[in-house]
Amino acid sequence: MNLAKMIDHTLLKPNLNQVEVQKAIEEAKYYGFYALCVAPMWVAYAAENLRNSKVKVCTVIGFPLGANTSETKAYEAKEAILNGADEVDMVINIAALKSGHYKKVVTDIQVVVEAVKGTAKVKVIIETGLLTDKEKIKTCELVKQAKADFIKTSTGFVNGGANAKDITLIRKVVGVDMGIKASGKIFTADRALAMIKAGANRIGTSAGVAILKNLESVKFNDEEDFKRY
């Protein structure tokens, strides 16, 4: 397993500057991360600086609340592709979900899927920290119905984050064909490996460099270690 190739190196804090973005770009190229995930305003810059590398450019849509209109999300997604994004991580309409407006939830995802069809993968952030287990199951079913490529656990802006129990539940609902991106409070190699063991095939983290440096020291054979996450 090449862990670097499963990591979306993430830089989404609101107070970052261009020096930090450039540093993340160089890290992504040096360590061979699958993608660099940046805010929409940095997509064109990242795409230009990653042009001759294998690192993909990922950005976020409707971030971090998911409360934008569907039309706004679709426009954001189209603009991101024009600016060079290869993948978009959109936040689900959490208010619609909590209100039981399931058709609206599906439509909200579908307009983004259609906006980037044939050009980019769509990951849907469901914000597991705000959902009950019953809501998580229902949400996974809706995302699958909308034909997105991935389910992503969290924005990292609310309580909670990725945990192995949720990843196992999501994988059980969506089956083997849909991707799962574990994101939120994944700062160590053992935690990243726990997510992969549970069924994730992508990790979103701002600590990718530290995780890779820590990887050789991890001994992850005990089932109790797995259960901790």
Verify whether residue 152 is a known catalytic residue: yes
Q: Which of 56, 121, 123, 152 is catalytic?
A: 152
pLDDT for res 159: 84
Summary mean pLDDT of the chain: 94
Q: Of 171, 159, 160, 227, which is closest to residue 200 (Cα–Cα)?
A: 171
Average pLDDT, integer, range 72-82: 98
Average pLDDT, integer, range 90-101: 98
Task: Quick: pLDDT tens for 161-215.
Answer: 899 999 999 999 999 999 999 999 999 999 999 999 999 999 999 999 999 998 8
Q: Which of 56, 73, 86, 89 is catalytic?
A: 89
Average pLDDT, integer, range 97-109: 98
pLDDT for res 226: 45
Structural domain of residue 72, as residue ranges?
Answer: 3-227
Give the burial string for 146-182 (b: 16+ CB within 10 Å, else e): bebbbbbbbbbbeebbbbbebbebbbebbeeebebbb
pLDDT for res 21: 98
pLDDT for res 215: 84
Q: Which of 56, 121, 144, 181 is catalytic?
A: 181
pLDDT for res 229: 47
Q: How many domains does the chain have?
A: 1
Length reported for the chain:
229
Task: Quick: pLDDT tens for 146-163.
Answer: 999 999 999 999 888 899
Verify whether residue 89 is a known catalytic residue: yes
Task: Quick: pLDDT tens for 7-62.
Answer: 999 999 999 999 999 999 999 999 999 999 999 999 999 999 999 999 999 999 99
**Tokens matching residue 101:** 């407006």
Verify whether residue 181 is a known catalytic residue: yes
Q: Assign residue 79 the CATH number of its domain.
A: 3.20.20.70
**What is the torsional sign of CA 10, 170, 104, 110?**
positive
pLDDT for res 32: 98
DSSP string for residues in 121-158: EEEEE--GGG--HHHHHHHHHHHHHTT-SEEE---SSS
Q: Is 101 a residue whose pLDDT tops 50?
A: yes
Q: Is 65 a residue whose pLDDT tops 60?
A: yes
